[in-house]
């Protein structure tokens, strides 16, 4: 098991022991939409570096882990999404720059031989719907052209891998063109690993492996679902599906 936490704009954890004049609690920085609006690359780096320093301190006290689901680099196409505050904006170029600086600030410390913390770029791919007009994120099938994937949706994720060298990516709940994201070998193996050179691990959003069979009806048995997700490139399952069914894959 690998303990994960969030740090979109500060470590999501309880407080550690106070030291000096400090409270021992993690700092809450402005959310990503506010940070993106500054267009300030050095600020993004300084914020994420401060977050990872606090994460290390809190980890030393057993309060926080060292693997974080951040940044969220989905593109803010429509305000009705409801999670726009989590992302830097709608522009793929700005978001590509944001992930480059934010992820490097999280992962890179004084000694380049070691990761400071693990940054997880999320949610891959074409994810920007929670629940609208009778369709929720667990059932949604995004129909997207190859051009839109390459020129819009994938631009930040390519920067995440090729430039920032993030060690983790999260696959999303939705399907894209009929294939659940966490079972999409073309996206996760051919594109992310072979073309972009990703050398980290891919983790599912929580419950997304079960969604492959229960929501998308893409597979027929729990074992087949594990098989599809593993061959599709998803290494870790947030949830219990792998643990309960992996031996039948």
Helices (H), 63-136: 92-107
Site of tokens 């505050």: 85
Q: What is the DSSP letter of 15?
A: -
Q: Write phi, then psi, for 171 (nearest 5 degrees).
A: -85, 150
In terms of DSSP bridges, do strands 141-142 and 175-176 run parallel, antiparallel, or are they unpaired? parallel
Site of tokens 């691990």: 201
> Rg of the chain's alpha carbons, rounded to an integer?
18
Count each helix (H run) and each strand (E run) in the chain, helices first. Answer: 9, 10
Q: Write phi, then psi, for 120 (nearest 5 degrees).
A: -115, 115
Closest listed residue to residue 125, CA positions, set 90, 77, 157, 95: 157
Instruction: Please tell me whether the peptide bond between 214 and the residue prior to it is cis, using omega within 30 degrees of 0.
Output: no
Residues designated as active site:
205
DSSP 138-172: TT-EE---HHHIIIIITHHHHIIIIIT--SEEEE-
Structure tokens at 164: 């920032």
């Amino acid at each position: 098991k690998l303990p994960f936490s969030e740090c979109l704009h500060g470590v999501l954890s309880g407080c550690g022991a106070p030291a000096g004049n400090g409270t021992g609690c993690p700092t809450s920085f402005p959310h990503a939409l506010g940070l993106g609006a500054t267009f300030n690359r050095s600020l993004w780096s300084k914020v994420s570096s401060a977050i990872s320093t606090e994460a290390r301190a809190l980890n030393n006290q057993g309060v926080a882990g060292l693997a974080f689901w951040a940044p969220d680099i989905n593109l803010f196409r429509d305000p009705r999404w409801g999670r726009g505050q989590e992302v830097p904006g709608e522009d793929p170029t700005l978001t590509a720059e944001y992930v480059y600086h934010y992820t490097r600030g999280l992962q890179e410390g004084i000694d380049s031989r070691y990761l400071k913390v693990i940054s997880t770029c999320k949610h891959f791919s074409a994810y920007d719907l929670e629940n609208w007009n009778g369709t929720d994120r667990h059932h949604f099938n995004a129909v997207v052209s190859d051009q839109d994937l390459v020129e819009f949706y994938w631009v930040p994720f390519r920067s995440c891998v090729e430039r920032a060298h993030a060690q983790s990516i999260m696959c999303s709940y939705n399907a894209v063109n009929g294939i659940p994201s966490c079972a999409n070998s073309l996206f996760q193996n051919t594109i992310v690993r072979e073309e972009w050179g990703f050398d980290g691990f891919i983790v599912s959003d929580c419950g997304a492996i079960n969604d492959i069979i229960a929501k998308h009806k893409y597979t027929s048995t729990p074992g087949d679902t594990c098989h599809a997700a593993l061959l599709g490139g998803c290494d870790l399952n947030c949830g219990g599906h792998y643990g309960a069914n992996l031996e039948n894959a």
